């Protein structure tokens, strides 16, 4: 079983998240709710939850401040920022503080389902890693852990240095080990994961600017250049081809 807390100054938002999780997963149990930043920090310290949903803007301290105060004290907690604002700056600060993900209200069921799946995977990995005696981990483990972290965090705009910091190695060391294990540089892997996910979002009809934000790019023009280099077609062209306005795609609903 996994326990979680929800911190948001709007009761209906807290209720919505709790109800959604109850519909999707029976193995996640609510440990408590908070309506202010100070209450959130206290709740997290007291329950040490597996998962903590925290609003960015709350009275009595922001969600980012609550994470800053507790992240080192509860290393086993996955922090998820929840906000009405799809702003890269919030996501960037959340990553720097060690947040696991950034969701925009209202949270979609498929996004929540994927988030819960990732939390389960992380807990399972930690249980396996904790059984390996110190000094018996290999360079292959370093590369594998790095790839899992990139799979979990690529949409937050993390870079190779941030991944390396989380593992406790240098970026150069990680790059060497990763290339030896998988035959490509970690930056190349990160970019490919972002581009593949971006293509799936564009095919669903999501706008280019929103897709750029969802895969960790602050500048949509930079994202467009990367996408064009990767696929040989602009994201705008793919977006128009799969737009609901295109008669061939009348069944697609704009996100």
Predicted confidence (pLDDT) per residue in 67-82, tens digit: 888 988 887 888 998 8
| Backbone torsions φ then ψ of 66, nearest 5 degrees | -65, -40
Answer yes or no: are the C-beta atoms of 169 and 143 closer than 8 Å. Answer: no
d(CA 150, CA 166): 11
Check residue 120 and give its pLDDT. 83
Between strands 51-55 and 101-104, the pairing is: unpaired
Does 130 fall in a domain?
no
Q: Is the pLDDT of residue 13 over 50?
A: yes
Are residues 120 and 145 both part of a single domain?
A: no
Q: Which residues contact 216 (CB under 8 A, 6 or more apart)?
A: 91, 154, 155, 156, 157, 158, 194
Q: Is the pLDDT of residue 50 over 80?
A: yes
Residues of the chain with pLDDT > 70, as a percent, come to: 82
The 8-class DSSP code of residue 251 comes to T
| Of 58, 74, 125, 65, the residue nearest 94 (C-alpha) | 65
Are residues 94 and 171 both part of a single domain?
A: no
pLDDT digits (tens, 9 = 90+) for 169-216: 788 888 999 999 999 999 999 999 999 999 988 888 888 888 888 888
Among residues 75, 94, 125, the one where a domain terminates is 125
Q: From residue 252, give the alpha-carbon distance in Å to each of 65, 106, 131.
A: 40, 20, 47
Are residues 176 and 238 both part of a single domain?
A: yes
Among residues 97, 125, 153, the one where a domain terminates is 125
Among residues 91, 125, 159, the one where a domain terminates is 125
Domain of residue 63: give its range.
Answer: 2-125
């Amino acid at each position: 079983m996994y326990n979680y807390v929800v911190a948001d100054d709007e009761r209906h938002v807290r209720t919505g998240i709790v109800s959604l999780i109850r519909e999707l997963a029976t193995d996640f149990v609510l440990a408590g709710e908070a309506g202010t930043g100070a209450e959130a920090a206290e709740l997290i310290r007291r329950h040490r939850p597996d998962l903590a949903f925290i609003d960015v803007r709350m009275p009595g301290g922001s969600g980012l401040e609550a994470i800053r105060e507790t992240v080192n004290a509860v290393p086993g907690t996955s922090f998820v920022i929840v906000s009405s604002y799809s702003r890269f700056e919030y996501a960037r600060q959340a990553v720097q503080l060690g947040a696991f993900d950034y969701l925009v209200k209202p949270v979609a069921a498929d996004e929540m389902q994927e988030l819960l799946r990732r939390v389960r995977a992380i807990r399972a990995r930690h249980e396996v890693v904790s059984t390996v005696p110190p000094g018996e981990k290999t360079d292959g483990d370093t590369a594998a852990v790095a790839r899992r972290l990139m799979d979990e965090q690529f949409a937050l705009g993390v870079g190779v240095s941030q991944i390396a910091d989380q593992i406790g190695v240098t970026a150069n060391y990680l790059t060497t080990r990763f290339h030896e294990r998988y035959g490509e540089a970690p930056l190349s892997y990160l970019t490919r994961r972002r581009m593949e996910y971006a293509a799936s979002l564009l095919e669903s009809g999501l706008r280019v600017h929103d897709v750029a934000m969802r895969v960790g790019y602050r500048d949509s023009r930079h994202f467009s250049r990367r996408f064009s280099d990767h696929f040989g077609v602009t994201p705008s062209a793919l977006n128009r081809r799969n737009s609901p306005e295109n008669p061939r795609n009348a069944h697609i609903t704009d996100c």
